[in-house]
Amino acid sequence: MQSTKRRDLKRWWDRVSLRFPFGPRSNGVRVRRTTASDIKVGNAARTRQDWTSAATAYRRALTQEPHLQHLWVQLGHMEKEAGEIDRATSAYEEAARLRTTDAEPLLQLGHMAKAWRQPAEAASYFVTALQRDPTNLQAVSELVRLMPDRDDVDPAFLSDALSVLGIDPAELRSEDTGHLPPGAMVFDVTDLLAFFGQRRLPTGIQRVQIEVSLACLEQVFDPQPVFCVYASARRGWITLPHDQFDALCRLARQSDDIADPAWIAGLDHLYRKIATARTIRFAPETVLVNLGTSWSDRNYLLDVRRIRARHGVVYVPLVFDLIPLIGPQWFAQSLVRDYRAWFGSLLHSADGCLAISEATRADFVRTSGEWNAPIPEQSVPVVRLDGDFRQAAASVEALRPYGLETQRYVLFVSTLEPRKNHQGAFEAWLALAASVGEAAVPRLVCVGGRGWLNEHLHEMLRDQPALRRMVLILHGIPDDTLAALYEHCLFALYPSFYEGWGLPVSEALSYGKVPAISRVSSLPEAGGRHARYFDPNDPADIAATVRPLLDDGARQHAEAAIRQEYAPRTWQAIARDVVQQARSVTARADATLPRVDAGTWTFALTQRNENADPAVPALAAQQGETLRDGPSWLSPGVTGCRIDGDDAALRFDWTGGEGATLHLHFAATRHAVAVRVEIAGVAHDGAAKPDRGMIVAGELPRTAGILQIPILPLTGQVILEKIVIEHAA
């Protein structure tokens, strides 16, 4: 009887507890008060980025209640941030054990293995994650990047991967050998696919990639261009299926909804198709054009140099601008640092570049000379982005949700970032209101991404009610609504401090609208005689330039001239221009090799130094990354660059000189290592005990010429920290 009463009381208490949350909870799970106190301490430490203290607090909580699966995941995050990789691994593994349906811990384990250059282990974790959650798009996309070529993969792993990807082994096309014909035109869209993995609606660079890609897919070329993505695990490129890539590009322009089932299905279908595609086998005289950027993988340009030297590939990236070098104050310094590292490597990895304007070409040619790696002007042809940006427009009703009336607003299309000069536009609008009265000033509609370093803009809007009434900021606007905004605006404004081209200028002209723009960099090329120009540093000049456009007669006269005289190029014409200009660039692989004399070159990742002057190009002169050759180099780390395999070398243009010695400094590792370095045909061996570094030295030849210096690990994986070349006194 007493036992029955206790059970009844417990049931009653459980029902009451469900309705009234007595006691503390963590992630919806009831916990003890002491546990909750430890979690609170951990959360506070996490907020202030004190990862070690947060991990200590979470461990204390888990000692009391080790069943809290979500807290094991949080502990893994903290240990990872603190650099305690073994502890992070153990925490994620315990989280995976406690909930066998949760893919999240396995995703984290996969990301860690990938970061620590263990692609096979990472791929295995992502396969297991997909076994738990077959629809996990993140796991699919990561597995695609890490899948080796099917000729190089363990059969058991391939079987598991095909199973989780839903691919019948019988469907693998035997005729897909990956071989390209000589002289093929290949477009690298790696960063566009990476963008699609996070976002959907394209901005400037992505829009250009999409338009050029679709235009190439719609036309007939001889040979037909191939689209590809770079796969770091394969150290090579994978062909994209044209139909799926075409469909995804068209879907991207329709909306910013990344949860749209059609979008998710399109991504998933494309990922699964390329997962089992063969790695491209390049033929001589292939032209590889990167339509975007290549910052994300630190071995990308190394592999570009490899296919140039070994297969005669001509590499011609499309360069949009050099703005992080020209105006580093407009960006976070971490981005400037990464851009500088990429640019220094690019100068020694590209046969030439396609510049999107004469201004960008001049910047590139001048800067390459300043960085002691000059690229001749004829190797930097220009492809103007004066395209027709008109899209099918939504009806005028699309403006109603934003409270906009036709011909009562000015359009400013740009990401909210310092370089675009929203502050100058806001100050100009306040000046206009002071001169003609607020009622006569049209609203300024700012459309674009949320951007960075723009807190001052939001402060201006908070502090000035008049500005709030005159300015409207919109994010995530799909193409058809943007088209409607252009069609019904008074004119366009673009007060940017610097541009590579100025796509919103061409966009405004495509819709027959007058662009009021800055008189700087490439913008006069984009605006031509139809734009109205001002000094972006002078809000009063912006206001004075804009004011005449408020007059209907003057504005309509300018619009009539645009309709009669402005003829934007079709994207088909621009795509043909890209192909033609890329083919005009000749191979110059040996000419781009770093020219080496005395000095020191580091192979470790550049460490963050927020106090360094970002305008000083010292990084390029001592960047060891550009000296690497061969697929056995792994990605650089904080202590140097690891070598795993028998195909790694240093390759450079040696200036010559008597009595010069090359010193190779290898970092200490936890294991004994031995290495052989061949310098001018002479082998030099070195060995080191655990936790001891070593130096291998040898004399360089007196005569100048291209040197290939193989580095062969004999025992363990060696880490090259730096090299030093000294001439005898």
**Predicted pLDDT of residue 3:** 65
Write down the domain spans for the chain. 26-170, 177-379, 396-568, 593-727
Topology given in CATH for the domain delimited by 593-727: Jelly Rolls (2.60.120)
The pairs formed by 43-47 with CB atoms below 8 angstroms and a separation of 24 or more are 46/74, 46/78
**Predicted pLDDT of residue 615:** 45
**Predicted pLDDT of residue 323:** 93
Could you give the CA distance from residue 307 to residue 65 in angstroms, rounded to a whole number?
A: 55
Strands 287-290 and 314-315: parallel
Q: Which residues contact 163 (CB under 8 A, 6 or more apart)?
A: none
The 3-state DSSP class for residue 13 equals: helix
Could you give the CA distance from residue 448 to residue 545 in angstroms, rounded to a whole number?
A: 23
Q: Which amino acid does the sequence have at 441?
A: V
**CATH class assigned to 26-170:** mainly alpha
**CATH class assigned to 396-568:** alpha beta
**Predicted pLDDT of residue 610:** 42
Could you give the CA distance from residue 157 to residue 147 in angstroms, rounded to a whole number?
A: 10
Dihedral of CA 258/261/262/267: which sign? Answer: positive
pTM, whole model, 2 decimals? 0.84
Q: What share of the chain is helix, strand, coil (3-state, %, to 5)?
A: 45, 20, 35
Query: Is 396-568 the same fold as 177-379?
Result: yes
Topology given in CATH for the domain delimited by 177-379: Rossmann fold (3.40.50)
Q: How far is CA 634 from the centre of its chain?
A: 20
Helix and strand numbers (H, E) in the chain are 27, 27
**Predicted pLDDT of residue 618:** 42
**Predicted pLDDT of residue 466:** 87
Per-10-residue mean pLDDT of the chain, 729 residues long, equals: 65 54 74 90 92 94 92 92 88 93 92 78 90 88 80 81 82 74 94 88 87 94 92 89 93 87 91 85 95 85 95 95 92 86 93 96 95 94 93 87 91 92 95 92 91 82 88 88 94 96 95 97 96 97 96 95 95 96 94 92 70 44 86 88 94 93 94 94 95 95 95 94 90
